[in-house]
Structure 1
């Protein structure tokens, strides 16, 4: 009996030990995730530069194909490929036509015709003195007239032969540059209109880039540009837009337009080098600005979420509608593009101002307070947007927060706006406006492009 009681006691202790181990090793019930810290920013004054970029290569700004208007035998070619020439420099000379034998023959014929004319004139005088009949006189007159015509033709032929003996004017260079092609040699017969030389000005170079059809309406001749040449990474070249193609070329379903930028200084640059240019389409200085992701589009109006304690004109509580807003804002993640006039064109390949965007959907009001403020926006680039009205310098607004969560065996990307409001299309390139709460279904931002607003567009 004692042995049996001993075993019972040992078993009880074992059960207690196992229970303690289980209690210590089994994880506790997941704690509720801590509320993220609200990200805010303040309205500040700054400069905004809006630009368009494109890639291409360097080309000769001025190139000329030299053709002759004269026909003739080339006497001497004075340049060769690779020679540097100045405007007006002689490229080749022509030989005159050797008409000496024909000229002598025509001159001899002219002398004979002139003597015959004198004889006919003397004959006519005698016929008049002798009282010849009218028919005889008319016959002599016709002979005289014919001989005068022969003499005139001979004189014209002599003049033509003499003219041909004078060589055409030498062919000269129309520009400063380098001879890159010579298509004639001494002794050859040059034909009118044929290309004899090609000259390129390598001192004045340009960069020809291709610009997307959505950006080309913003580009104008005379705009300033900066150029980076791949072969000269430590140098930045400046220039101006000198030409914009009227016709685009299709590439992958997108039309691209050639834009030529004349470089102010091209020292060290060679024709054919790869380059990338940035064209400045708009510059704003000392204006009110916000990070672009802080502004959202809601019901056709642009709004920001003021931090708790901030207030402004035309502001409404979170969850309400801004003035003149549509009753039902567009759904998040719809990929719809805004038609607001102040919105920048979306990029076809999701190259907008936002990468993943902020969450949209019809979420709740969120756990943190704040008020929506309607604003008027102006110029914007990839990071900043101009606030024309609705806010003052120093006011604090909320910036969307993007959070990634993992659940179960599958990882899901969820975007939630802390303290946000259910909304429509955002400016930051993703789907819609601020998401309310942290509900997983609160509308996400498609990583490939998504909704409207600045930098949205239909990503591909």
Structure 2
């Protein structure tokens, strides 16, 4: 009997100890200090980005317009030729095939004495010195892209090297896939240097820029209806309080937003505090989110664009 009594007491003691340990291990809610940011002057850039691959600006199959007999082939495979240079002549004395642009003979499928027809490709000419890339741009951003805008290009093969280019063409028709329409934008590269046809690249087109303007991190600006505001900390005798201050905004990208009215350079505003997930959801309820999405999943009027993919005047 005493044995069973002792066992019972031990079991109860272990249970109590386990409960106390569990309570001690109960996760405690931690409160992070609210970060702040100062209103600064700077340059705000809005960019539209996309990926593509390197291709030649000029690449062309060379053919005849009627049946002819080849008199002489004046070039060899991989020869570099100049625009207007004579490449192939014919026995009937008709116009010879000449190079439509400077480049390299990358295919040659004809010999002296051959009879060629209009369906036959006799040679191929590629210009490796003039290169371009074609990227796909979302329909929501393509209206911001204009011919002549500058672009920054990074090749996966040369991540530390910067290339530049200009927009030279924007497709008039888009491609619809998975509920989204995209448009092809052609960027001609200024100095291809070590780039080769077929290399993959990322291109970023500068579509809008504003210098010497007031800037804040985009998460500092909250929205309620059509109004936008920030929280400005105020030091009191006993504690620091916050004042809600209405602002007007202008250009924005994913990281920063322009302040056009309501704040001055150097003013300090609060940023959202980093806390537990449940608290964060409540604190972010009226924050601007990238892509115009509210934290709850709905669309927010006049929302922010993605990083390097556009901005909007607000």
By the TM > 0.5 criterion, same fold? yes
Cα deviation digits, residues 354-407 of structure 1 (max 9, x gap): xxxxxxxxxxxxx973332222211112211111122111112111124225xx
Alignment partner of 1:427 is 2:299? no
Partner residue in 2 for 1:81:
77
**Pairwise CA distance, 1:181:** 2.6
Of 223, 233, 244, 1:297 maps to 223
CA-atom RMSD, angstroms?
A: 3.3
**Pairwise CA distance, 1:50:** 1.0
Alignment partner of 1:275 is 2:204? no
Partner residue in 1 for 2:250:
378
Partner residue in 2 for 1:454:
304
Separation (CA, whole Å) in 2 of partners of 1:44 and 1:236 = 28
Separation (CA, whole Å) in 1 of partners of 2:68 and 2:28 = 96
C-alpha contact 2:30 2:276 (8 A) present in aligned 1 = no
Alignment partner of 1:227 is 2:227? no
**Pairwise CA distance, 1:239:** 0.6
Alignment partner of 1:53 is 2:49? yes
Partner residue in 2 for 1:43:
39
Separation (CA, whole Å) in 2 of partners of 1:234 and 1:262 = 20
**Pairwise CA distance, 1:414:** 4.5
Structure with max Cα Rg: 1
Alignment partner of 1:236 is 2:162? yes
Alignment partner of 1:266 is 2:192? yes
TM-score, length-scaled by structure 1:
0.56
Separation (CA, whole Å) in 2 of partners of 1:252 and 1:431 = 20
Does the residue aligned with 2:143 lie in a helix, a strand or coil? helix
TM-score, length-scaled by structure 2:
0.79
Partner residue in 1 for 2:126:
200
Equivalences for residues 177-216 of structure 1 within 5 A: 177-191=103-117, 195-216=121-142
Alignment partner of 1:175 is 2:25? no
C-alpha contact 2:30 2:275 (8 A) present in aligned 1 = no
Separation (CA, whole Å) in 2 of partners of 1:209 and 1:246 = 14
**Pairwise CA distance, 1:69:** 4.6
Separation (CA, whole Å) in 1 of partners of 2:28 and 2:195 = 62
**CA 1:34/1:67 → structure 2, altered by over 3 Å: closer, same or farther?**
closer
Alignment partner of 1:62 is 2:58? yes
Highest relative contact order (Cα 8 Å, sep 6+), 1 or 2?
A: 2
Partner residue in 2 for 1:388:
260
Does the residue aligned with 1:217 lie in a helix, a strand or coil? helix
Using the TM superposition, name which of 79-88 and 264-273 deviates more. 79-88
**CA 1:368/1:32 → structure 2, altered by over 3 Å: closer, same or farther?**
farther
User: Greater strand share, 1 or 2?
Assistant: 2
Alignment partner of 1:93 is 2:19? no
C-alpha contact 1:68 1:192 (8 A) present in aligned 2 = yes
Alignment size in residue pairs: 286
In structure 1, runs of 5+ residues without a counterpart are 1-17, 97-166, 311-366, 406-411, 433-444
Does the residue aligned with 1:68 lie in a helix, a strand or coil? coil
Partner residue in 2 for 1:403:
275
Of 281, 292, 297, 1:415 maps to 281
**CA 1:84/1:400 → structure 2, altered by over 3 Å: closer, same or farther?**
same
Partner residue in 1 for 2:5:
none
**CA 1:402/1:431 → structure 2, altered by over 3 Å: closer, same or farther?**
farther
Equivalences for residues 106-117 of structure 1 within 5 A: none
In structure 2, runs of 5+ residues without a counterpart are 1-12, 307-314
**CA 1:297/1:284 → structure 2, altered by over 3 Å: closer, same or farther?**
same
**CA 1:32/1:61 → structure 2, altered by over 3 Å: closer, same or farther?**
closer
Separation (CA, whole Å) in 1 of partners of 2:27 and 2:205 = 53
